[in-house]
Amino acid sequence: MSIKNVLLGATVLGTVVVGGVAVDTAAAPEAKATACWGQITASKGKNYTGCGRARHFNRLASGTMKWGSVASDHAWSYEQACWSNIAQYGMVRA
């Protein structure tokens, strides 16, 4: 009798666990994250659609900020020169 209870309990637990995973999986497609920028290097970055204008930047080790051109949708932001001692680079809204 106790083996039957253990098997029944395992079956119920397995059904609840699988049901929970199914609910999480069904909700996942609704959560869509859109990247605004991509293909970012130390000298350029691409502005994708739907995020407004953006520009590339380099922060030098001294703290000085160097800004690239402003890019609209589906366009590139380019640095005007090659910089040394780059501590950080990326894209921001313009």
Please state, in angstroms and rounded to a whole number, the distance separating the CA atoms of residues 21 and 84. Answer: 50
pLDDT at 71 over 70: yes
- Sheet with 86-93, strands from edge to edge, namely 65-71, 54-60, 86-93
Return the C-alpha torsion angle 33, 77, 50, 37, nearest 10: 0
pLDDT value for 80: 87
pLDDT-based confidence at 51, cuts 50/70/90?
confident
Q: What is the pLDDT of residues 12-36, one digit of tens each?
A: 444 434 444 444 444 445 445 568 9
pLDDT-based confidence at 49, cuts 50/70/90?
confident
Q: How far, CA to CA in Å, does 55 sit from each of 15, 58, 67, 70, 85?
A: 51, 10, 7, 5, 20
Q: What is the pLDDT of residues 55-70, one digit of tens each?
A: 999 999 999 999 999 9
Q: What is the pTM of this model?
A: 0.61
